[in-house]
């Protein structure tokens, strides 16, 4: 607030986004759901998970845990909104096989456990295990560089660098 009063402008901030899931990196356009592949929800990437753990991709705050625990929204400390959607059509599982370890309003660090899920249940009951990670508010950033990797480790592999607008 003082910066606004004295005319100083905030500078854009660079942010490194880590993969929230371990597994195989997948281009968002390859996700078999047009909501994600046609980027209707925003730009991002996906991971075909090798284990049932989702960790925070950034330092920030949990802004939403869906009641069915199949998705979580995070706002980074820099102001970037990120949606992590475990599998496709997993909302129909009604939370079965999902366990949230965070609640709305919790502060998290990159690598903190958010949700555990049964990969076997998702394989059996959902359309796909592919887990899209989407930057839902395009106006929040001025530059996004996806760093394609083949194998990613949750909380450790850098998958994007983003310049978040002030």
Residue stretches of the chain with pLDDT short of 50? 1-2
| pLDDT > 90 in the chain, percent | 91
pLDDT of the residue at 102: 98
Which residues lie across from 74 on neighbouring strands? 62, 82
pLDDT of the residue at 1: 47
pLDDT of the residue at 166: 82
Residues involved in catalysis:
85
* Arch. (CATH architecture) of 7-164: Distorted Sandwich (2.70)
pLDDT of the residue at 11: 87
pLDDT of the residue at 131: 98
């Amino acid at each position: 607030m003082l910066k606004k009063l004295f005319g100083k402008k905030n500078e854009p901030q660079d942010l490194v986004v880590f993969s929230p899931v371990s597994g195989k990196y997948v281009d968002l356009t390859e996700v078999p759901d047009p909501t994600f592949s046609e980027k209707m929800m925003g730009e991002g990437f996906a991971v075909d998970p090798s284990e049932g753990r989702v960790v925070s991709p950034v330092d920030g705050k949990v802004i939403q845990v869906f009641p069915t625990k199949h998705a979580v929204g995070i706002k980074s400390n820099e102001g970037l909104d990120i949606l992590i959607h475990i599998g496709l059509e997993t909302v129909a599982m009604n939370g079965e096989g999902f366990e949230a370890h965070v609640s709305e309003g919790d502060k998290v660090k990159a690598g903190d456990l958010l949700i555990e899920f049964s990969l076997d249940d998702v394989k059996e009951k959902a359309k796909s295990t592919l887990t899209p990670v989407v930057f839902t508010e395009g106006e929040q950033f001025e530059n996004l560089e996806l760093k394609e990797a083949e194998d990613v480790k949750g909380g450790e592999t850098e998958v994007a660098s983003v310049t978040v607008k002030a």
